Amino acid sequence: MQAEQKIFKYPYPYFLEIGGELPGFELTYTTYGERNADDSNIVWVCHALTGSSNVAEWWDGLVGEDKYFDPAKYFIICVNVIGSAYGSTGPLSINPKTREPYYRNFPTVTVRDVVGAMELLRQELEIRKIKICIGGSLGGQQALEWAVEVPDLCEELILIASNALHSPWGIAFNESQRMAIAADPTYAEDHEDAGSMGMRAARSIALLSYRNYDTYNFTQARDNPDQIDDFRASSYQQYQGDKFVKRFNAFSYWVLSKIMDSHNVGRNRGGIVHALGLVKAKTLVLGIKSDLLFPLSEQQFLARHIPDAVFQEIDSLYGHDGFLIEYKQLTQVIRAWQETNGQLQTARIG
């Protein structure tokens, strides 16, 4: 499977939703497959919080050779969002005005800003329509925002474990992670490893929202009933924190968590219900029964207020992370929905 990673350079001031600007930006994006002349095979994947544009790596059960989204059939594109750590303009990028990295001075970016940047890339690539726009979690927030902002762009919209408005519950989890980062005194310093130990703790907090009680009981059970220390659950949290520090930076993690907090499709659009009513794409909404971070009620709300949307529920031991793990169930429901031309009845799958 041939993947092509490219960089889109926007050399003009980019004005942000809440004020301020970026003096230009770059977006790293990856494509797979061949684009049809009529744009009838484009699948645009929006990645989640700490994802990259290499969707075939982190969603390899859905994207790749002989997978549901096969590059032999589809032209697949994924863009690393502004603020991230995988090639697009972010806190470690050089601010052309100061000739120094932004670090903590990176401007506040919203989901709407992220989507606006992708829209500029779409126009540059002269993509007239998107066959399928799909995303989970923060990726679903982006996909939904785009479908509201440019209603005629996407033919099909697939939203997985996402919402119309980021909840106080989700914001509280993100704030707790930012508190952990800020408690690391090195976060006040100007170098790319600043705040790493705080981010390590923040990732441990995040995992508790991505999984759930049953996940840990099953995967991190005690080694023996008399154990009093060195628990598997403890070493797992330490391991995940260490692994994350090797691939990310605290500045981007802070910015991305704020992006997620900003999500509200109803802002300055007459409210959430009115905004959801603007969606024209044929829409499938997927929720995960065990998801603590984005509970089913949020996906049910989307399906009630997006015109003619279909809601499906899947089971997973893995909570919110089920959208990255339950490939078989996701493939099953997406295939059934497409084969029935979007007429699949709301049901529980799994």
Note the pLDDT tens digit of each residue in 250-301: 999 999 999 999 999 999 999 999 999 999 999 999 999 999 999 999 999 9
CATH 3.90.480.20 for domain 170-258, yes or no, is no
Q: How confident is the model at residue 213 (pLDDT cuts 50, 70, 90)?
A: very high
Q: Work out the percent of the chain whose per-residue pLDDT is above 90.
A: 95
Q: Residue 53: exposed, middle, or buried by beta-carbon count in 10 A (0-12, 13-18, 19+)?
A: buried
Average pLDDT, rounded, for the chain: 96
Taking the chain, what is the end-to-end CA distance rounded to the nearest angstrom?
30
pLDDT at 92 over 60: yes
Question: Distance (Å, rounded) from C-alpha 9 to C-alpha 264?
Answer: 28
Q: How confident is the model at residue 350 (pLDDT cuts 50, 70, 90)?
A: very low
Average pLDDT on 330-337 reads 97
Q: What residue segments make up the domains of the chain, in order of their start?
A: 4-168+261-340, 170-258
Contact 143, 270 (CB under 8 A): no
Beta-bridge mates of residue 158? 134, 284
Average pLDDT on 17-37 reads 97
Q: Consult the annotation and say whether 38 binds a ligand.
A: no
Has this prediction a pTM greater than 0.85? Answer: yes
pLDDT at 348 over 60: no
Which amino acid would we find at residue 40?
S
CATH number (2.40.50.140, 3.30.450.30, 3.40.50.300, 3.40.50.1820) of 4-168+261-340 reads: 3.40.50.1820
Q: Would you please indicate which residues are annotated as catalytic (active-site) residues? A: 137, 291, 320
Domains 4-168+261-340 and 170-258 share a fold: no
Residue 114: strand, helix, or coil: helix
Q: How confident is the model at residue 349 (pLDDT cuts 50, 70, 90)?
A: very low
Q: Consult the annotation and say whether 321 binds a ligand.
A: yes
Question: For residue 33, what are its two tokens?
Answer: 């497959």
- Using only the alpha carbons of the chain, give its radius of gyration: 20
